[in-house]
Amino acid sequence: MQTQGIQEEEAAATLGASGWRMFWRVTLPNIKWGLLYGTIICNARAMGEFGAVSVVSGHIRGETNTMPLHIEILYNEYQFSAAFAVSSLLVCVALLTIAAKHWLTRKED
């Protein structure tokens, strides 16, 4: 955003655009690709995070739970079918994330 400068925002303000209108019509279109890539990367990181969440959260069942932690709980309780079902769901979400990243990369080119 720093390299793009503030000329477009200043022009919109000079023409009488409100703050929200400037955001939706000027700022958001300029940052949309970075925002989408950041969202996809954060999603991928959150799906795969296990160690830090396990240590920081205290591993309290029903209170601090992510899909990887839930898979571990189910596996440790010998509920293999449920653990594999949640793992399959996690794989589906990962594949959707990869597809979204591929689609965005293709659309940008």
Place of tokens 């200043």: 10
The predicted model gives 62-72 an average pLDDT of 83
Kindly report, residue by residue over 17-31, the tens digit of the pLDDT.
998 999 999 988 888
Confidence of residue 87 (pLDDT cuts 50, 70, 90): very high
CA distances for 56 relative to 17, 51, 53, 72, 86, angstroms: 45, 9, 5, 16, 22
- Cα radius of gyration rounded to whole Å, the chain: 21
Asked if residue 55 has pLDDT above 90, the reply is no
Boundaries of every domain in the chain: 7-108
